[in-house]
Structures are given as structure tokens and as C-alpha cells.
A = this chain, B = another copy of it.
């Protein structure tokens, strides 16, 4: 692997039971938190992991987790603050109309930020997955956005050295989520006004929102807001959390093209689902596919591609890139 290769980490949620709303018991036995670290450490080419506060690391397990990390050689790409996986967040976290819930959400974030610091991570991520609505006449849209902004301002002020990135998603589990697109998040960050708030770009969420992930990455990176990327794939109609590059091959390739072009040097993380398969194998395939896209970009004629963009000759780019993809087959 050449110098262009990224640092790759992985979420560990798919080492769980894989349960869903029709089968809460799941399709396999969940792996215990520390064992997830040991299991994923078998994957070749994986450099780091995402932790989840408080599910995978909490105040009382910091030392244990650090010890297993040292044992495996895995770094921590980020700590995900869990404000979704409990009944108490059912009507939202930072944007809940209930002041006590908002306070608890903020307090959970602050504790998670401290734990992140303790495990040596400079980045926490927040996916506000319960902050949204299902029906018309269910949310006071203005109040909700104000509460969300205010909560983020307070969290960001807690520790200016800790970067907080927001992971947007258009829907699920709510029919509509508050922080739904790259553009919404960019606008929100402008309103929040704190220097240590950025974005986690989840490729599958971008597809589900109708975005081109390369475009989202470019616009975020130019603003200094692209903190980490979640790789996965889907058909565009739902957040399938599939192995990267197995559906939207070209858009994945284009994303990596622009990441290279813009000098993105942060983590490429894997956020897939594997309820009916072996999570280690699914992770390995994901790592390999991401690294192969980087390698493929190495052999693309970058200057020619950029020149074709300026000449509005997209057919020439389809030609140049198709030729490379199929090159090794002599066809």
C-alpha cells in the first residue's frame, strides 16, 4: 500500500445481535464490548475503532478499554455519544421539549467528552437519531432547532480542545430527523458558532438523502468541517449499512478521488450492518474495498479528469475512468 492509503477504523455496533423491529432478539449472539475490540483486531489493514459512550466505554471501564487497545494496537478514531439507544431519548435529546431531558442529554455529552479525553480521543461524534418527528403537528420546529443549537453551544464550550462532529441522517428511526443533510449541518454549525464543531459524513446517509457524497465531502472539507467519514453503501432508498462499494461503485470511487485531491488525512471509518453474516469478514471486506478504491484512484488520470470537468466533457471522463476500472481485464 502506498502513501496515499488512509487510516481506517470501524464502528463496532455490528458485533451486536443484529436485532430489528421485527426481531428484537436478533439473528446471532451479541459479542461482549471488550471482545468486540479483540475480534475486530483480527482484521488486516484496520488501524482503529470507534467507541460508544456509554455502551462500549464508560467512566468505570476506561482503564480496561485502554488496556485492550494497547494489547491490540488499535487506535481510537472517535467516541460516539449515545443519545439514542434508550427509552428516555424517545422524544429527542438536545431538542426534546422536556427541559429535564435536554439537561440529561447535555450532561451525558459532557461526561462522554471527558471519557473520550481519558481514552485519548480528540473527537466525539453525535448522531441525534431521536431528534425528529413522525407526524405533522408533532414538532414545534423553531423551538426544537433553538434547543438543539443551544445544547450544542453548551457542549462545545465545555472543552474547546475536544472536537464534536455531528452525524446527519435524513430519517430512521424517526420518519424525519432534525439534522438531516450535509447542508443543514453546515447551516447549523454556522448558527452554533463554535470553532470545535464539525461533521461526520456517513456515505450511506448521504445516499439516502439524495446527495452525491463526493460533493458533500468537497463542500465540507473546504469549510474545514469534514472530521471523519463513515463508509457504507445502499440503494439510495434506505440506510442499508451495506459493505462499501457493493452498490454505488462509481460514487464511492469519486468520493475517494476528491478526498485524495483535497488532502483529506483523517479517518475513514466503517459503519456497516451485518445481522446475517460474520462481522469480522464483513469488516475485512469493507477495509479491503476502501483501500482498493484508494489504490484505484492512484492510477486514475487526475489532471485529465479535472480538465474534462472544465470542458464540460463528462463523456470523456466516463471513458477515461471506465478504461481504468476494466483495464486489468484486457477489455
Contacts and interface: CB of A to CB of B under 8 A. Distances in A.
Interface of A: 17, 19-28, 84-87, 89-91, 96-98, 129, 133-143, 145, 170-173, 175-176, 180-181, 183-184, 186-187, 190, 209-210, 212, 214-215, 218-219, 222, 234-238, 240, 242-243, 245-251, 253-254, 257-258, 273-278, 281-282, 285, 288-289, 291-292, 295-296, 299, 305-306, 308-319, 321-322, 324-331
Given A24-B19, A329-B292, A136 B285 contact: no
Contact of A136 (B21, B181, B246): B246
A176 B278 contact: no
A288 to B, nearest CB: 7
Contact of A276 (B90, B97, B328): B90
Nearest to A329: B328
Given A90-B276, A97-B311, A23 B176 contact: no
Contacts of A292: 322, 326, 329, 331
B215 A139 contact: yes
Q: Which 10 A-B pairs have the closest CB atoms?
A: A328-B328, A249-B249, A183-B184, A295-B331, A138-B314, A136-B254, A137-B317, A141-B218, A183-B183, A27-B90
A220 to B, nearest CB: 11
Contacts of A24: 17, 19, 24, 26
A152 to B, nearest CB: 16
A63 to B, nearest CB: 27
A140 B90 contact: no
8 contacts: A97-B310, A135-B250, A142-B222, A145-B219, A171-B237, A176-B215, A187-B187, A281-B319
Given A141-B218, A243-B318, 15 more contacts: A19-B21, A22-B85, A23-B89, A90-B275, A98-B312, A133-B314, A134-B242, A136-B254, A170-B210, A172-B238, A176-B210, A180-B210, A238-B238, A277-B313, A327-B329
Nearest to A237: B236
A277 B90 CA distance: 10
Nearest to A296: B329
A196 to B, nearest CB: 19
A235 B25 CA distance: 28
A2 to B, nearest CB: 10
Nearest to A16: B24
Contacts of A322: 245-246, 285, 288-289, 292
A232 B257 CA distance: 24
A324 B251 CA distance: 19
A258 B275 CA distance: 26
